[in-house]
Amino acid sequence: MKWYDEVEYIREQAMKNNEYFGSSLPMIASENVLSPLCKEMLLTDFHGRYAEGTPGNRYYEGCRFFDRVEEKAMELAKKLFRCRYADVRPTAGTTANMAVLKALIKPGEPAVVLDTANGAHISFGKWGAAGLRGIDLISFPFDDDQMNIDVDKAVKLIREVKPKLTLCGRSVFLFPSPLEEISEAAHDVGAYVVYDAAHVLGLIAGKRFQDPLREGADVMTGSTHKTLPGPQGGILLSDHTGNTDEDKRFLRRLGFGVFPGVTSSYHLHHVAAKAIAFAEHLEFGEEYAEQTIKNAKKLGQSLFERGFKVFGEKLGFTESHQILVEIGKGKGKEASKKLEEAGIITNMNMIPGDEDPLNPSGLRLGTQELTRIGMKENEMDYIAELFERVLQKKEKTSKIREIVNDMRKDFQEIHYCFKKGYRGYDYHKITN
C-alpha cells in the first residue's frame, strides 16, 4: 500500500464505524454519543497542547486560555454535583481510581471491595489498579437476590477487619449501594469511603440515583462518558471543605495523587469537552436521567415477560440505566455475537456464580445511548421483542438486521443537548 492508500483505508474504517453505529441499536452500558458542541472541542488546538500542574501554576507557558477552560470546568462540576472540590484532570475513570488509591492507601494495607463476579470494576480487583498498588483486598459479602452488598454482613466485616478504605460502586450497577450504613461503620474504624460512580455519574448529577457525597463518601470518582454523556475521561469529586488542617491535607493528597501521581498532561481537548457536557447536563440532566431509568425499567419488564431471566425482578429490575440478563451457563458470549449479527450491540457479562470472565453466563444492557437518540418506553418493548426473536425464536439475524436498520432511520438526532440556534449552527443533528 502507498501511504495515501493506507490513510484512505483508516479513514474508510472510521466512516464505516460511524455508519455501523448509526444504523444499529447500541446497548453497551459504558458508552454514549457526544453532542456536536462536545465534538467541536475535541477538534480544537487544545488537542496538541500540554498543561502540567494547575491553573496559574504551570510547568509550561501558553496555558492562559486553557486555564480559563479548566477553571470553568471545575466550577461547573462543583455546581452539577453540589460539592466543594472537583478535579477534572483524570483521563479516565480508572485513572481517577488510581489517583485515589495512590493518595489514600499504602501497599499492603487492607481495603474492602466487591468481587468482579458481583459487579465490581476491574480497577478494584487484583488484576487492576488495586492489585498494581499492592493492596490487601477483602471482598464485600453480596446478596444475589438483592443484587447488592449485604449490608449487615458488610458492616460486621468492616468493624472486624478495620480497613484503610472501603470501595463502593460497580460496573454492574442496578441499585443504589447501602452507603450510609457502610460509611458509618467505615468512619467509626477510621477508614475512608470511596464511591466509584463511573456508570451512574449522570444519574447522580440528574438527581435520580443516590447522592454519595451526602451519604458518607469521602471521595467520588467517575467516568464522563457513560450516563454523563461527555467525552471519554474521568473526574474526582469531594465535599470536604478544606477549612481544617486535616481537610487541607486530605484534598492536597487527592490532588497529588492525580498529578504527579497518575497524570502528566491530561488531554486538554477532553477537559474542554467535559466542561460543555457539564453545562449541558445542568440544563438537561434531570430529564435525561429520568427517561433513561424509565427505559431501563421498561426493557427489564418486557424481557421478563418474554421469558428471560432478568435480575432484580422483586425490586423492579433496576434503578439505573442497566439491566442484567442471565442467558445460560457460559452462553453470554454466544448470545452477544448473535445479537450483533442482528444489529444489536451488547456485551457479555459475568453474573453471580460465574468464575470465567471470558465465558460468562449473562448480558449487561444499558439504555443511556438509546435514550440519548430519543427512544422511549415503546421502543424498549419492541427491542425486547427483537431479543426474543433472535435468542429464543432463532429467527435469521439478517432479517432482524434489516428491521433494526429501518428502525434507526427515525432516530438520527441527539437529544438532551444544546440545539439549533447556538451561533447560527444546527448543533442538534448527528454529523460525521
3-class SS string, 123-134: HHCCCCHHHHHC
pLDDT of 226 > 80? The answer is: yes
pLDDT of 430 > 50? The answer is: no
CA distance 141 to 401: 42
pLDDT band at 416; cut points 50, 70, 90: very high
Domain 38-277: which CATH number of 3.40.640.10, 3.40.50.670, 3.20.20.70, 3.40.1830.10? 3.40.640.10
pLDDT of 242 > 90? The answer is: no
pLDDT of 48 > 50? The answer is: yes
Q: Residue 422: what pLDDT?
A: 58
pLDDT of 66 > 50? The answer is: yes
- H/E segment holding residue 65: helix 64-81
Average pLDDT over residues 343-357: 91
pLDDT of 420 > 70? The answer is: no
pLDDT of 116 > 50? The answer is: yes
Q: Is 116 helix (H, G, I), strand (E, B) or coil?
A: helix
Strands 53-54 and 57-58: antiparallel
Mean pLDDT, rounded, of the chain: 93
DSSP 140: P
Strands 136-139 and 142-143: unpaired
DSSP for 149-173, please give it.
E-HHHHHHHHHHH--SEEEE--SS-
Span between the terminal Cα atoms of the chain, in Å? 26
pLDDT of 429 > 60? The answer is: no
Q: Residue 124: what pLDDT?
A: 76
DSSP 141: P
Closest CA to 33 of 219, 202, 191, 211: 202
pLDDT of 428 > 70? The answer is: no
Q: Which residue has the higher pLDDT, 425 or 161?
A: 161
Strands 53-54 and 136-139: unpaired
Is residue 432 exposed (0-12), middle (13-18) or buried (19+ Cβ within 10 Å)? Answer: exposed
pLDDT of 424 > 60? The answer is: no
pLDDT of 183 > 50? The answer is: yes
Closest CA to 298 of 391, 378, 368: 378
What's the predicted TM-score (pTM) here?
A: 0.94
Fold of 26-34+285-408: Aspartate Aminotransferase, domain 1 (3.90.1150)
Contacts of 386 (CB under 8 A, 6+ apart): 25, 342, 344, 400, 403, 404
Boundaries of every domain in the chain = 26-34+285-408, 38-277
pLDDT band at 432; cut points 50, 70, 90: very low
